[in-house]
């Protein structure tokens, strides 16, 4: 928990106000030449002690804080190396000429489509595409 140095500020402030009133009442009634009363001396002493306590708290707050030491994690055992995979068998190369026989090229498809459209125009009955 942090050290509270500000908790003394209010006490010092209130005590200073009481001391000020005591000094004013003494100077007005007896004059400034008179020595301070015992109550005034007690207030001064108490204020001085509070200021010293505040200074020690502030000095203690400036000191480095103790850091929490984290426990060390246990070391994991080293992993066993993986076995090497056997090389894959080579596949025979695919025949590209066989694929062309199965599937017509894009140019062939477009020419066939255009020819079908022309045939549909020439036909007596109109198709849905034209």
Separation between Cα atoms, residue 47 and residue 16, nearest integer Å: 7
pLDDT grade for 109, boundaries at 50, 70 and 90: very high
Separation between Cα atoms, residue 16 and residue 8, nearest integer Å: 12
Is the pLDDT assigned to residue 100 strictly greater than 60? no
- Mean of the pLDDT values across residues 66-91? 90
- The pTM assigned to this predicted structure is 0.46
The pLDDT value recorded for residue 4 is 66
Work out the end-to-end distance of the chain between its first and last CA atoms, rounded to an integer number of angstroms: 88
Is the pLDDT assigned to residue 70 strictly greater than 60? yes
Is the pLDDT assigned to residue 90 strictly greater than 90? no
Q: Which two tokens stand for residue 84?
A: 């090497």
Under 8 Å between Cβ of 119 and 110:
no
The pLDDT value recorded for residue 122 is 82
Separation between Cα atoms, residue 94 and residue 62, nearest integer Å: 79
Under 8 Å between Cβ of 50 and 18:
no
Residue 112 exposure: Cα atoms within 13 Å on the Cβ side? 6
| Residue boundaries of the structural domains of the chain | 7-62, 97-130
pLDDT grade for 1, boundaries at 50, 70 and 90: very low
The pLDDT value recorded for residue 52 is 93
């Amino acid at each position: 928990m942090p050290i509270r140095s500000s908790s003394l500020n209010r006490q010092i402030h209130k005590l200073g106000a009481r001391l000020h009133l005591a000094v004013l009442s003494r100077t007005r009634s007896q004059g400034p030449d008179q020595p301070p009363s015992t109550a005034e001396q007690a207030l001064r002493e108490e204020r001085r002690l509070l200021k010293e306590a505040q200074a020690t708290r502030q000095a203690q707050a400036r000191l480095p804080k103790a850091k929490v030491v984290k426990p060390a994690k246990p070391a994991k055992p080293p992993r066993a190396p993986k076995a090497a995979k056997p090389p894959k068998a080579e596949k025979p190369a695919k025949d590209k000429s066989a694929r062309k026989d199965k599937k017509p090229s894009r140019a062939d498809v477009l020419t066939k489509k255009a020819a079908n459209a022309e045939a549909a125009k020439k036909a007596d009955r109109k198709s849905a595409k034209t």
